[in-house]
Chain A
């Protein structure tokens, strides 16, 4: 495969009120990368991640995910792209209350067309993978914050998507739990998953292979060699 996992060209996003959240962003992320997005609040990090995750469409520029030009896809094709290729991890977990962990994870596969038994089998495997094999039947209120985020990560990776997007996954956790979650994301990346993480934590960001800095809807610095981007663009 020659195309990058993520390719943004001159992407802009202006909200109806007139706020410009993205002002012409170009960024390539290759398969297998682990990237931190950092920047002050309101700099457009979440907007960029949602655009990459095809939850939001840009008002200008081109977004390609795993080679697909998002602008050319219908709602149901974009949904299929999310169902099969992208996993999301949110700051506040978004787990269904009073639903056992294994079913919370299994429901993440609901839109892939898998049968229920298969979904539950994969959910149990994913929970084992994140170290919660002993918590399958626990409901969210019986789990710690760190464990809840692990369940959410299990849900994101149960379908083995090539790309995982995490918006401040440690933002609601104490530093010990946060470190555990980061360790888990590293392991997933080591196994081949491309991971993009928004974080406020300088230490966490510094520990990742690549940092993209944002301000006022633009990328101000990218620790990856500029050459790489230039060569990709020229291809």
Chain B
């Protein structure tokens, strides 16, 4: 058989990559609704995970932005309560004592004037105080706590002697006062005060948000205020903050240092953030379960697709498709399906993150690792979900596949 030896060697041609993709998309084009629904399963899982990571990262970025703007070197000294459960008072000289500690850069104070209730007008019944508190405030308070004025102006050496009040953001909202003006008046301790200013929220001193801040002298003259500070705000050199912190209680109230509470507001905010991070882990797990369910949906779609398309598989084999090329076709279909779902999910998750961040006034952050991880996960899912159906398709006998009605 010399003729036999002279025959050219047969070799299957390689398909071009674009052809592999286009053939892999045949099933998606012929059954778009089914493809859409099984891709949607993946999309929901990925969207959930990207949104959870994105919202959490945006919140962290928002906190970082707040802290870098406001500084982390604020220490708050509160009078606390006595052993008998009464509200404690700090001595008159507490502020000047603290100022003498070396690394301290600035001190300011407020004093709660508990007896002076805040009302919109004289007609409101006495009991409805609305959770607002009157504070006597030092004039240098704003820079120390990092507060800013939204409307009107802060108290000054003149207005601190008169019935003028600056409202915290929450207090202004509760009282229904949108802007400072000579006509905007509230009743504090039975005296009409004119609203001369409204503050923005104060992240490092949230107690001030629901406060009505009046001058120290007018509180003493008109509201029976005894002149003792109840909260001291202290800025100190950052590297020596801990040593300042350890002597603050004793300095502020040498008679009863254990009554005094010293806190660092930036730490409190960071700790709150850490608590919500733990919750993020849980939500991420839920998103992961959704993703796996989506993967099962893709596997199911692929199994059905292979069963339905037996005649097509037989035809392709008769046209010269190798087993490997049939396997590749269905694997590509599965990968396309889940990659579409993954891309859609990243878009939806990013959209949710940006929407949430804009609504909450946070910088939107979608970490690259979350996007890359999500897309990688969908490719792994697509490969796993498609492998078994693809192998089944490639093992079909061409004649039996063609004979399927």
Contacts and interface: CB of A to CB of B under 8 A. Distances in A.
Contacts of A80: 10-13, 320
A10 interface: no
Interface in A81-111: 81-84, 88, 90, 94, 96-98, 107-108, 110-111
A108 to B, nearest CB: 5
A67 B12 contact: no
B227 interface: no
A55 B402 contact: yes
A109 to B, nearest CB: 8
A94 B315 contact: yes
Nearest to A77: B10
Interface stretch (A68-76, A130-138, A184-192): A68-76
B7 A68 contact: yes
Contacts of A98: 30
A55 B30 contact: no
A76 B324 contact: yes
A113 interface: yes
Highest count of chain B CB atoms <10 Å: which of A68, A96, A111, A155: A111
27 contacts: A1-B3, A2-B3, A53-B318, A55-B399, A68-B7, A68-B10, A76-B11, A77-B11, A79-B12, A80-B10, A80-B11, A80-B13, A81-B320, A84-B10, A96-B26, A96-B312, A97-B30, A107-B319, A110-B15, A110-B19, A111-B320, A111-B322, A112-B320, A113-B13, A116-B18, A116-B19, A155-B319
Nearest first, the 5 A-B pairs at minimum CB distance are A83-B320, A113-B13, A111-B320, A79-B322, A55-B398
Contacts, number: 98
Nearest to A3: B3
A56 interface: yes
A54 to B, nearest CB: 9
A111 B318 contact: no
Range for the number of chain B residues in contact with chain A: 20 to 34
B292 interface: no
B277 interface: no
Nearest to B6: A67
A203 to B, nearest CB: 27
Contacts of B10: 68, 73, 77, 80-81, 84
Given A67-B7, A113-B13, A82 B399 contact: no
A115 B18 CA distance: 10
Contacts of A82: 317-320
Helix, strand, loop or mixed for chain B's interface? helix
A26 interface: no
Contacts of A110: 15, 19, 23, 316, 319, 321
B50 to A, nearest CB: 35
Contacts of A79: 12, 317, 320-323, 325
Interface string B373-405: 000000000000000000000000111001000
B174 to A, nearest CB: 64
Contacts of A116: 16, 18-19
A20 interface: no
Interface in A134-171: 155
Nearest to A84: B320
A50 interface: yes
A145 to B, nearest CB: 17
Given A50-B398, A83-B319, 13 more contacts: A3-B3, A55-B317, A55-B318, A69-B4, A77-B10, A79-B317, A83-B12, A83-B13, A83-B320, A94-B314, A96-B30, A110-B316, A111-B316
Interface string B265-277: 0000000000000
Given A68-B7, A79-B317, A113 B398 contact: no
A17 B314 CA distance: 22
A111 B397 CA distance: 18
Contacts of A76: 11-12, 322-324
B100 interface: no
A67 B5 CA distance: 10
Nearest to B30: A98
B311 interface: yes
A50 B399 contact: yes
Contact of A115 (B3, B16, B322, B397): B16
Interface in B311-363: 311-312, 314-325
A203 B14 CA distance: 44
B8 to A, nearest CB: 10
Contacts of B16: 113, 115-116
Contacts of A50: 398-399
Interface in B294-323: 311-312, 314-323
A51 to B, nearest CB: 9
A75 B322 contact: yes
Contacts of A97: 30
A113 B30 CA distance: 24
Contacts of B399: 50, 55-56
Contact of A108 (B12, B14, B319, B325): B319
Highest count of chain A CB atoms <10 Å: which of B7, B18, B26, B319: B319
Nearest to B326: A79
Contacts of A69: 4
